[in-house]
Chains A and B, each alone.
Chain A
């Protein structure tokens, strides 16, 4: 304590922790309040989690691209409606001194036949030159060698089970063959990418096989162009240079911009954001009502005692501080179980839906802030009741 004279002085000045005692000496009421706050918190965690998880899920594959900048056709609006642009635009970017490498990528949804029950379902196919870097997935370059044989694909083992037991069969050493658009393909290996919003599963093929599967692709046309920069280059600066030098038949994005472009599509063209934000707002309002109810009846019940304290010479602001501290304590105590339950439910959601829902810092802080606003706002409303405490009336 000697090293902290300021702290010691504060510690010495402390008073009876009235807010804490008011709350804890009424365990039933405290339990109701905490249950209400936790419930509101859990609701907000779930709604925000689903919302962000769905948006994050739309860029599962985008995230993995080994690129600093990305070229897209201006007619492409999302991963489920990609349009082609001339491949030479991508080659032109090599003229820029900061561009270190490029990878042309074919991208389209194709119909995959489940090798077990022969049902069909659309799957995302990416076509690339097997020697080119495509994804930041360890070991991909080695696995991609098999794609040099025509009609081979790498199957994403994280694809939804509706595509058939491809991964199990392959691991068991069976030869797994299927059909894409009526053409026979053989699974030459497994990769782990993950499902996204637009695609329930993914396969990787060589450009040659891709063009075989989709013979209507115009020659020299690609859907995505990946650009890698020299170390130390500023992506925003290079993006601006490329935009100025390239014709208007391509769009240039940073990798982050490419992901935002996809997320924005789902955000703006679907009601997902609205629905889940509304759900979170409901949780917030329910929580406000509960906390206000609890604090208001707490102040009302103790009104003669507050009036007594005022008669003893306590300042009104001291008593307002007691109510504010009650609100703060409720927020802290109610947040902890909500956080813990949120973690557990996120794990449940991940295993049930394969959505990438994680407890990240911004969301944990956001929900805590909302709970804090909820409790302090309710405390502020309940404080108005304190104005009714008239010390002259208690005699």
Chain B
């Protein structure tokens, strides 16, 4: 599913060049839920963006969903991203779209489906995250937890094989954070979708199949 081998990454150039990832190796099996924790600035998010094909790999091997990301073109990465679901720290919903339309932006990425089929799927996903009554609401009319659930529905609507989440509970209180993570795990299980989640929220560590600790650009303990 995901194979990372000897990955190194630098930011900046010249004197300012700074290494953020050092010889990182990580494997994620299909359907596995992996939590990545560590102090801020240790390179967790950088690793996530490299696995998510949002950044060009500098050194080391990265294979995601069977595709090598070394020397990948912009086009290849864009194509690959269609098969990766992403959930952000902020919900990053489109403010001008209703909940249903936001989710359909996800299912619109699926080829060969009629508009009606894609819309029905979007509605189905919203029901699955418990927002069947809020289809036509705009994001500013939803609570933080509801927005994050819409974001989950949107990420899953494109049928991803891999779900990347960057601190999805950061902006949520304890209870709704818990609900969101449980929902994420349950739906990912149903879809046989692997999850790589960056978090430093200690309250949700128990959802992980595997816990990976990161410090100063290195993977430390594997629990």
Query: Do residues A16 and B114 form an inter-chain contact, with CB atoms below 8 A?
Result: no
Give the CA-CA distance A302 to B84 in the complex, in Å: 22
Query: Do residues B92 and A305 form an inter-chain contact, with CB atoms below 8 A?
Result: yes
User: Does B162 lie at the interface of the complex (its beta carbon under 8 Å from any beta carbon of A)?
Assistant: no
Give the CA-CA distance A392 to B101 in the complex, in Å: 24
Query: Do residues B109 and A314 form an inter-chain contact, with CB atoms below 8 A?
Result: yes
Query: Do residues A16 and B88 form an inter-chain contact, with CB atoms below 8 A?
Result: no
User: Does A11 lie at the interface of the complex (its beta carbon under 8 Å from any beta carbon of B)?
Assistant: yes
Give the CA-CA distance A311 to B105 in the complex, in Å: 12
User: Does B108 lie at the interface of the complex (its beta carbon under 8 Å from any beta carbon of A)?
Assistant: yes
Give the CA-CA distance A21 to B104 in the complex, in Å: 14
Residue among B54, B55, B81, B138 with max Cβ neighbours from chain A (10 Å): B54
With A391-B54, A395-B89 known to touch, is A305 a contact of B94 (CB < 8 Å)? yes
Query: Do residues B97 and A312 form an inter-chain contact, with CB atoms below 8 A?
Result: no
Interface set, chain A 273-326, CB cutoff 8 A to B = 302, 304-305, 308-316
Give the CA-CA distance A394 to B164 in the complex, in Å: 13
How many residues of chain A get a CB closer than 8 Å to chain B's CBs? 27
Residue among A13, A26, A312, A392 with max Cβ neighbours from chain B (10 Å): A312
Query: Do residues B115 and A312 form an inter-chain contact, with CB atoms below 8 A?
Result: no
User: Does B150 lie at the interface of the complex (its beta carbon under 8 Å from any beta carbon of A)?
Assistant: no
Query: Do residues B101 and A16 form an inter-chain contact, with CB atoms below 8 A?
Result: yes
Query: Do residues B45 and A395 form an inter-chain contact, with CB atoms below 8 A?
Result: yes
Query: Do residues B88 and A394 form an inter-chain contact, with CB atoms below 8 A?
Result: yes
Give the CA-CA distance A180 to B47 in the complex, in Å: 98
Residue among B78, B80, B109 with max Cβ neighbours from chain A (10 Å): B78
User: Does A15 lie at the interface of the complex (its beta carbon under 8 Å from any beta carbon of B)?
Assistant: yes
Residues in A neighbouring B48, C-beta threshold 8 A: 395
Query: Do residues A313 and B109 form an inter-chain contact, with CB atoms below 8 A?
Result: yes
In the complex, what's the smallest C-beta–C-beta distance from B209 to chain A, in angstroms?
A: 22
Query: Do residues B109 and A21 form an inter-chain contact, with CB atoms below 8 A?
Result: no
Query: Do residues B82 and A312 form an inter-chain contact, with CB atoms below 8 A?
Result: yes
With A305-B92, A311-B86 known to touch, is A395 a contact of B105 (CB < 8 Å)? no
Query: Do residues B96 and A16 form an inter-chain contact, with CB atoms below 8 A?
Result: no
Residues in A neighbouring B95, C-beta threshold 8 A: 25, 302, 305
User: Does B38 lie at the interface of the complex (its beta carbon under 8 Å from any beta carbon of A)?
Assistant: no
Give the CA-CA distance A22 to B95 in the complex, in Å: 9
User: Does B19 lie at the interface of the complex (its beta carbon under 8 Å from any beta carbon of A)?
Assistant: no
Residues in A neighbouring B89, C-beta threshold 8 A: 395
Give the CA-CA distance A82 to B89 in the complex, in Å: 83
User: Does B27 lie at the interface of the complex (its beta carbon under 8 Å from any beta carbon of A)?
Assistant: no
Query: Do residues A16 and B108 form an inter-chain contact, with CB atoms below 8 A?
Result: yes
With A308-B92, A395-B89 known to touch, is A313 a contact of B54 (CB < 8 Å)? no
With A394-B92, A395-B48 known to touch, is A21 a contact of B101 (CB < 8 Å)? yes
In the complex, what's the smallest C-beta–C-beta distance from B39 to chain A, in angstroms?
A: 16
Choice from B92, B97, B114 contacting A21 with Cβ under 8 Å? B97
Residues in A neighbouring B54, C-beta threshold 8 A: 311, 391-392, 395
Residues in B neighbouring A18, C-beta threshold 8 A: 94, 97, 105
User: Does B180 lie at the interface of the complex (its beta carbon under 8 Å from any beta carbon of A)?
Assistant: no
Residues in B neighbouring A2, C-beta threshold 8 A: none
Query: Do residues B166 and A395 form an inter-chain contact, with CB atoms below 8 A?
Result: yes
Give the CA-CA distance A22 to B101 in the complex, in Å: 12
User: Does B217 lie at the interface of the complex (its beta carbon under 8 Å from any beta carbon of A)?
Assistant: no
Residues in A neighbouring B84, C-beta threshold 8 A: 313
Query: Do residues A313 and B104 form an inter-chain contact, with CB atoms below 8 A?
Result: no
Contact flags A1-39 to B (C-beta < 8 A → 1, else 0): 000000000011111101001100110000000000000
Query: Do residues B105 and A312 form an inter-chain contact, with CB atoms below 8 A?
Result: yes
Query: Do residues B115 and A304 form an inter-chain contact, with CB atoms below 8 A?
Result: no
Choice from A21, A309, A394 contacting B96 with Cβ under 8 Å? A21
Query: Do residues B96 and A26 form an inter-chain contact, with CB atoms below 8 A?
Result: yes
User: Does B106 lie at the interface of the complex (its beta carbon under 8 Å from any beta carbon of A)?
Assistant: yes
Give the CA-CA distance A271 to B16 in the complex, in Å: 62
User: Does B21 lie at the interface of the complex (its beta carbon under 8 Å from any beta carbon of A)?
Assistant: no
Residue of A nearest to B89 (CB): A395
Residues in B neighbouring A25, C-beta threshold 8 A: 95-96, 138
Give the CA-CA distance A370 to B81 in the complex, in Å: 40
Choice from B45, B55, B81, B114 contacting A313 with Cβ under 8 Å? B81
Binding site for A on B (CB under 8 A): 45, 48-49, 52, 54-55, 78-84, 86, 88-89, 92, 94-97, 101, 104-106, 108-109, 114-116, 138, 154, 158, 166
Q: Which 10 A-B pairs have the closest CB atoms?
A: A313-B82, A25-B96, A313-B81, A12-B114, A392-B54, A308-B92, A15-B108, A395-B166, A392-B49, A392-B55
